[in-house]
Structure 1
C-alpha cells in the first residue's frame, strides 16, 4: 500500500490516482493517516454497490462525498 503526504499527493495527483487503480493510497496530514484513495471498483466491492445503483445509493454516496468535501479541499490547498 502506498502512503503519501497531502502535499505530495496534491503535487502528483495523476501519479497517485493511477496507483490507486491497483492498490489503496493512504494520504497523510501531519504524519497521520487522513484519507484513502481507491478505485471506484474497489469502493463498490467494499460497499456492496453494484452496477444497478438505486436512488437511495446515490443519495447516500452524495452525503458521504459532501461530508468529506471540505477535508479534501483543505488538503489540496496545503
Structure 2
C-alpha cells in the first residue's frame, strides 16, 4: 500500500491515480491518514455493488430500513 502526503498527491495525481488501480493509496494530511484512493472495481467489490448498475433499489431500501429500523419505528409513532 502506498502512503503519500496530500501535497505530493496533488503534484503527482496522475501517477498516484495509476498506482491506485493496483493497490489503495493512502493520502495523508499533517502526518495523519485522511483519504484512501482505490480503483472503482475495488470499491464496487467492497460495497457489493455490481459494475455499471445503480443497485437494486428495493434491496438498498431494505438495508437502510434494517439499519435504521428502530428510528423509523419511533418516527412512525409520532
- TM-fit CA distance, 1:53: 1.8
Per-residue displacement from partner, 1:3-29 (whole Å, max 9, x unpaired)?
000000000000000000000000000
Structure number with larger C-alpha Rg:
2
**Structure 2: runs of 5+ lacking an equivalent:** 58-78
Q: How far, CA to CA, are the matches of 1:54 and 1:34 in structure 2?
A: 28
Consecutive unaligned residues of structure 1, counting only runs of 5 or more, are 57-78
Structure 1 moving runs of 4+ over 4 Å: none
CA RMSD of aligned residues (A): 1.3
Aligned length: 56
Give me the TM-score of the superposition, normalised by structure 1. Answer: 0.68
Q: How does 1:47-66 map to 2 (within 5 A)?
A: 47-51=47-51, 52-54=53-55, 56=57
User: Which TM-score applies when normalising by structure 2?
Assistant: 0.68
